[in-house]
Every structure is written in C-alpha cells, then in structure tokens.
Structure 1
Amino acid sequence: MNPDTPTPGTTPLLTPDVLVIGGGPAGLTAAARLAPRVPGEVLVVEREAEAGGIPRHSDHTGYGLRDLHRVMRGPRYAAHLAARAAEAGAVIHTRTMVTGWADAHTAEVTGPAGRRRIRARAVVLATGARERPRPARRVPGDRPHGVYTTGQLQNVVHLHHGRVGRRAVIVGAELVSWSAVLTLREAGCAVALMATEHPAAESYAAFTVPGRTLLRVPVATRTRVTRVIGRGRLAAVEIEHLDTGARRTVECDTLVFTGDWIPDHELARAAGLDLDPGTLGPLVDTALRTSRPGVFAAGNLLHPVDTADVAALDGAHVADQVLRHLAGDGDGEESPGVRIMAEPPLRWIAPGLLRPGAPAPPRNRLLLWTDEFVRVPRVTVRQDGRTVARRTLPWPAAPGRALRIPWSVLRNVDDRGGPVTVGVH
C-alpha cells in the first residue's frame, strides 16, 4: 500500500521532502530556492487566505531592496514572492494551520481538505512575529473600540477596506510606527501624536525627519500612555512624561500600539525546541538549525523584528543549510555548541549558538537588540574570562531596530570553549 494512502479511519499522511511552516518572506524564499533542488516535494503551509505574510497588507513602498534589489509596495512584494515559489515548483496550501506534532518530524494540520499529517525529511519554521496587543502591555483604563496593533489596523484598512477613526495616537516611534502613519493617512485619519518612552524616536532619521515635517506628525519622547478613556468608542488617552511626571489628556478616537514584538513561537514551544530567553524564539546556530536535527527556523521568528527583506535573506540562507542536511552533510549538527549571549543594555543576539563547522550567519551579520541608545557602539566580545575582540561601529545602536554587527567579531572564539558574551558601551 502507498504510505501516503490512509487506511479507513486514519488521518491522511503527506510525505514531502521539506515542510515549510509559514508563507511569509522567509518561508516563501526558502521554498523557492529549495523546490528546484530537491527530488521530492516542498510543501508550504500558511494559515492566512493568501501567502505573503505581513507585506500583503502593508500597502506602501519600501519592500524588496536587499533581496530583490528593487523597491516595491508591500502587496506586490508579497505576491511576487508567492508567485516565485509556486513557479519554482513549491506547493502552497493556504488556510491551513499546524495544530500540533504527532512526532519529531510529523506535523498535524487542519485546512480546507480536513485534518492531515505531514511527515517531512526536513522542517523549516518561518512563523514570523507579532506586536504585543494592549492587554499584554498592561495599559489601564476603559476597554473601548478603536484600539489596534499595526497589523490589525492594516488588516482593517488594506484588506477589508474598513473605516477607522479621524484622530489617532500612536504608541511607539519605530519603523513600523511610520507604517501605521501611512495606513492611517490612507484611511483619512490624522495623527495627533506619536509617543515613545525613549529619549529619541527609535526609527532612522530618514523616516523620522520627513514624518515630522512632511506628514506633520508630532513625536513626544520620554512619554507613555497611562490610561485609555472611552465608553463604547475611544475618546481620549492620558499620557505621562516620564522625567517630570506631568500628565495630560489627548483627545483621539483611534489608538495604535506599534512595535514591542514577540515571535510566533507556539509551534516551537509545542515541539519542545530549545528557546532563546532573549528573543523568545527557537535557539539556533549560524546554520539556523534548532535543537532538533532536521528542524530549522528562519526570519522574524528568530529576531523579532527585522525588515521583510532581511527575513527573506534568512530564507535563502536556511534553504542552503536544509540541502546540506538532506545530503547528509550536517557538520556539527549533534554538537551542543557554544552559547552566544548578549549583555545589557543588549536584550538579545541572533543567532545564539556557535557549532563547529557551521557556516557564517545570513549576510555575515549578527543581529542584536538594544534597550538603550548608544551613539557610537563599542562592541566587546568575551569568552572564558578573556577579551577576544573589540570593534567600534560607525552606526548607532537604537531601541526599536536591529543592530547589525560583522560576523568577524567572533573570528577568534573557541567553538569548543565556554559561553561567549557580546556587549556594547
């Protein structure tokens, strides 16, 4: 009997060579690169109605610079990646959700075809990241309508062409915060204030300066929302200056919480994979291998959050490593490796593991996240009580965006030694 043909009363079993979970930039790029190069099937499962990930409902320009070397609007970028994966031979199942694991390499899924199991020779987790909603941020006050994350806002405006309010407050001043500004502008909603707890806007000056001058968005630094006001519909928010304690009320009917990212790590947790306590995503080495041989992870599941094109390049990198695994060339795959850890004010570093024989990470860069602004970061790498590298970076470390440092700072690390710590000051 064909192993893919179920016996009566059993769940159908699919057996692709590679299962990619998540149809965003990382997953689709990995699938497009793998499909022509493996003998069996590359299957992508995506829980949304269409593949493409967050760019699908980010209807503004700025996508594709690093991976495609051209600039596109979000929906076109998402459609391009989905079409490229399909044209390469990948099979994409949308409206399909992985609900659990039957064993180490067998996923249980539910979709339009019903319940199935998928057993693959290699699995790539590319489930991305999401913004923390208001309840997770513990902002007190009323529970009115009109409160969104950026993703929820873009879904309402760009996908469902729904209406929001007329006057908004945005919490956060990251890159995604300016994406929210553009979405609100398209919906005919003015931005009364953008508030950030940091001493400066987190996004690049190339976004902040035009946003303040051309879009006329006022940015209040060292400011937090302390109360949400409104019965039925949002009426106002109370904000506080963190240095003076002064409070005031800002009238608004729309409130958007931006940034404060967390990986969509539920499947990684359910699989029992080792998690990085900093990123909260799977702990991976520079080949993007998890603690389970044959299971890989890529994209913003690992570094919440970086731009879509960086996530896509993760997908290209992990595809090459999957091919090595399928060919039996998994140097160091069973090694526990050396932990790479971040020191405060750094929150996390990715990848977080160095194994013998592993390649350089995607783009030859380590990605870090800082909780404090450092204008001229001086990077120090330590292992076993000694300093193995120092490097001064020509770009600042700023909260709300990934700090990239050259992989070469780990050149003198002993991949069989003790844990490595990376700090900036």
Structure 2
Amino acid sequence: MSSPILTPDVAIVGAGPAGLAAATALGDKHGISALVLDREQTAGGIPRHCDHPGYGIRDLHTFISGPNYAKRLTEAAVRAGADIRTSATVTAMSADRTLQVTTPAGLLTIAPKALVLATGARERARPARLIPGDRPQGVYTTGQLQNIVHLQHKKVGKHAVIVGAELVSWSAAMTLRHAGCRPVLMTTEYPSPESYAAFNIPGTTLLRVPVRTRTRIVGITGKHHLESVEVENIDTGARDHIACDTLIFSGDWIPDHELPRAAGITLDPATLGPLVDTALRTDAPGVFAAGNMLHPVDTADIAALDGTHVADRVADYLATPSWASPQQLRITCEAPLRWVAPGLMAPGEPAPPRQRLLLWTDELVRRPRVAIHQDGHLVASKTLPWPASPGRVFRVPWSIMDRVRPDGGDVSVSIDNARATGFVPGRRALIGVG
C-alpha cells in the first residue's frame, strides 16, 4: 500500500527558530500556510534545551529564556496558519523536493511546490574530534547535556571540564551549575576566550570557571566512569591531568546536511552546508535553506531572521516559479577566515539577511581591515570598529560588495591586517567527516 501524498505550497524541514520564523512570515505576510516537519516531539529547536535568558533580542526585541522563546515562536507560527508536525522524521529527499517522512501515524510522501531546509547544526561529538583514550560514561556535547538536564531532568556528575570557551560553552557552564555540577576548567586552543567579554568576565568571576587558553584535551581516562582528562599546553607541550567525572564538548559545529547531500545539492566545502546565494536559494529548483545549516553557528535570533528573509524569497518563487538569475559570482575567503556565507551573489539581486556578509575567523583581529578582491584587483576595503574573533560569527556590511563588477570574476574576502600565522584550531576534526 502506497503512502499518502501531500502537496503543500511550502514544506519546511526543521521547527527551530529559522523554520518557525519562515512559517510565521509566510502566513502573516503572504497568506501561505506552510507544512513544518520536525523529528523532535516538541517544536522549538535547540532553545527548548537552554533554560537561561538571552533569547529574542534581535527578532522579538525582548530578553527571555530559551524555552519561552521557543514557545513564542511556535505559537506565532501556529497563529499564522502553519501545520506543525512533530515526531516526523524526513528519511529521504530528492532533488525535485519530494520528501519521504516517517511519522507515528505511518509513512508520508510530501511533494511541495517549494521547500525550505532549516535543520540547523550540531556540535561534533568526541569521535569526530579524534581524541584518544578510554570510552567512559560522562562525556557529552552541550546539546546532550542540556537535553539531559532541562528536558529529562536528570543529574550528571559533580566536577566538569568544558572544551571550548565560546558563547555555548558558558551556556554549558550555567546548565552544569543548574544540575549541581561544578565546572573546574574551561579549555580553548585559541590565545583568548572566544566569547564576548560580557560573558567571559561574569563567567570567570560569578561562575568562577578558570579558563586555560592555548590548551587542548589529548587524553581521556576512565574504564566505566570518567576519572580525568589530560590537558596539553599547545605552546610548551606541558601536560597535566585534571580530575573530573563530566566532560563537555562545546562548539566545533557542523550543519545537519545529510538531506541536501543525499539529494545531490551542492554543498559549500568550507561551511559544509548548502551553497546558496543572497536569496538563500540552493542549486536545486524550489529548494531554499536558512539558519545555522548555512552559517554554523550563529545565535537563535539571527537564524530566525534568516527564516523571515527566506519567506519573501519563497513567496516570490511561488508567484513566478523561475530559478533563473543573473550570472552568479562565487564568494570565497582567505585565511585566517575559514568560511563566508552566502557563497554566491548576483549583482543587482536583493542583499542577504540583515544586509550582512557572515564570516568565521581563526584569528583575533581587533580592528579588522576587510578587503574585497575581484580578478586579482582590490575593489573595496573597510576597517571595522568591531573585532573579528574566533568562536563567533564575524559580520561585515553588505555594502562593501557594491563595487563588485557583474561582468567580472569571482570575489575573495580577506582581512588585510591579520597576522596570517596559519594557526587553525580544530582542523583535525574535519578528517573523516562527510
């Protein structure tokens, strides 16, 4: 017996901030009811797991906890007419947008006129980071930790080491404190903590978490339960053992890209997410992508604003279903920049979300001088008053691209006053990743 076939105008895979915001904008602004699919039992995405404030600043202009933020986004999407189906796992996708979905009620085939991929990103677990040693209990990613503590209401250990010193690392520290587990060390390979000073200073003083820079975990000990980790100073090679019963791997993100990869959609080799233009279009007709599967990883409100942006582009496509665009130029970047999003542009087309070019750097540059080259020639440069800092997205005004020639070659973005030391933490984690 064949599975039922649904043919909505728009299907959205992922009920996190990007997917829910897209569904809300499609309904409220364009009168289009979207079908939203999510494999979790409850809509809302990662913010559901983060029971601390700091959500909704840019999109909702408020300052609330993750669960409240997820609830507001979900309720807004429902009011806008979205059909949200949870416990719905997309098991296959084809380039013509057809989805095979497993649900509690059985199998579904969904053939939408337009498709938005908003499956987000995940942290690399210990196996992908190639850290040797024993395989004891007590080793988690931040996402696993928050699920255990905030959703399952279970306990972890008593003393924890956190790998990474970015925004999500401090989120992990707060979750550990909530669970009665004391963070005894935060370790980062970078020369300085990656998160904003507004998080570093309260974290080190109020949470009293010591941070070791230029260090990495090189060994894990514990036959059944975690007993200690071995920490190495990258510059001196000195090592010591830190006693702990909990180890949290934070950051080091990778997009949930299995669906577009299996469908043959072109991926950006730098981000590992779908390669898109400023309209967030992939190279598969009618297939868009939004949120942290494009820029792993940014804050939830930025992902939501991606969803709002892509809704307009989807509505344009449904009104005039053409995938043709002016000649697109490839946008790449040079070290210490690791990736840039979007990776394609067509001069004269709409700017990307928030009129920002998003990049990731492996080196701290406090007053970066951003340069744009085309055909080997400098076409624009601008010194920005905010830093390019590892561990968080570096935002560059899109106006810097105004002088790019439509009839020219591809475009390269660089930071002219970077030291270009070649230091790229975490690159070994890319080995063996599909």
Counterpart position of 2:384:
393
Counterpart position of 1:208:
200
How many Å apart are 1:376 and its aligned residue?
1.4
Q: TM-score, normalised by structure 1?
A: 0.96
Counterpart position of 1:368:
359
CA contact (8 A) 1:354 1:415 kept: no
Question: Which AA in structure 1 matches 2:260?
Answer: A
Question: Which AA in structure 2 matches 1:353?
Answer: L
> Structure 2 residue aligned with 1:117, among 71, 89, 109?
109
How many Å apart are 1:333 and its aligned residue?
3.3
2:278 aligned with 1:278, yes or no? no
How many Å apart are 1:416 and its aligned residue?
3.4
> Structure 1 residue aligned with 2:401, among 378, 391, 410?
410
Counterpart position of 1:172:
164
Counterpart position of 2:183:
191
How many Å apart are 1:295 and its aligned residue?
0.6
Q: Secondary structure at the match of 2:162?
A: strand
Deviations 1:324-362 (A, max 9, x none): 1111175x7345510000111000000010024420110
Question: Which AA in structure 2 matches 1:197?
Answer: E
Q: TM-score, normalised by structure 2?
A: 0.94
Alignment of 1:50-69 (within 5 A): 50-69=42-61
CA contact (8 A) 2:93 2:260 kept: no
Deviations 1:146-172 (A, max 9, x none): 000000000000000011000000000
Counterpart position of 2:213:
221
Alignment of 1:276-425 (within 5 A): 276-328=268-320, 333-335=324-326, 337-424=328-415, 425=417
Deviations 1:233-286 (A, max 9, x none): 000001011111110000000000000000000011011111111100000000
Q: Distance in 1 between matches of 2:7 and 2:348?
A: 30
CA contact (8 A) 1:191 1:217 kept: yes
How many Å apart are 1:386 and its aligned residue?
1.2
Q: Distance in 2 between matches of 1:97 and 1:335?
A: 36
Q: Distance in 2 between matches of 1:31 and 1:351?
A: 21
CA contact (8 A) 2:26 2:33 kept: no
**Superposed structure 1 runs of 4+ greater than 3 Å apart:** 36-41, 332-336
Q: Distance in 1 between matches of 2:250 and 2:25?
A: 32
Deviations 1:69-120 (A, max 9, x none): 0011000100110111011100000000111125512111111121111111
Q: Secondary structure at the match of 2:8?
A: coil
Q: Distance in 2 between matches of 1:37 and 1:104?
A: 26
Alignment RMSD (CA, Å):
1.2
Q: Distance in 1 between matches of 2:267 and 2:158?
A: 42
Q: Distance in 1 between matches of 2:407 and 2:144?
A: 45
Q: Secondary structure at the match of 2:53?
A: coil
Q: Secondary structure at the match of 2:242?
A: strand
How many Å apart are 1:41 and its aligned residue?
3.6
Q: Distance in 2 between matches of 1:416 and 1:268?
A: 30
Question: Which AA in structure 2 matches 1:308?
Answer: A
> Structure 2 residue aligned with 1:161, among 121, 135, 153?
153
Matched length? 416
Unaligned runs of 5+ in 1: 1-8
CA contact (8 A) 2:347 2:404 kept: no
Unaligned runs of 5+ in 2: 418-434
How many Å apart are 1:38 and its aligned residue?
5.0
> Structure 2 residue aligned with 1:98, among 85, 90, 93?
90
Question: Which AA in structure 1 matches 2:371?
Answer: T
Q: Distance in 2 between matches of 1:367 and 1:102?
A: 29
Q: Distance in 2 between matches of 1:351 and 1:139?
A: 32
Counterpart position of 1:78:
70
How many Å apart are 1:415 and its aligned residue?
2.7
Deviates more, 1:152-161 or 1:9-18: 9-18
How many Å apart are 1:373 and its aligned residue?
1.2
Question: Which AA in structure 2 matches 1:150?
Answer: T
1:183–1:261 CA distance, 2 compared to 1 (3 A): same
Q: Distance in 1 between matches of 2:380 and 2:191?
A: 30
Deviations 1:20-71 (A, max 9, x none): 0000000000001112455664100000000100000111000000000001
CA contact (8 A) 2:88 2:103 kept: yes
CA contact (8 A) 1:41 1:91 kept: yes
CA contact (8 A) 2:96 2:285 kept: no
Counterpart position of 1:4:
none
Q: Distance in 2 between matches of 1:149 and 1:410?
A: 38
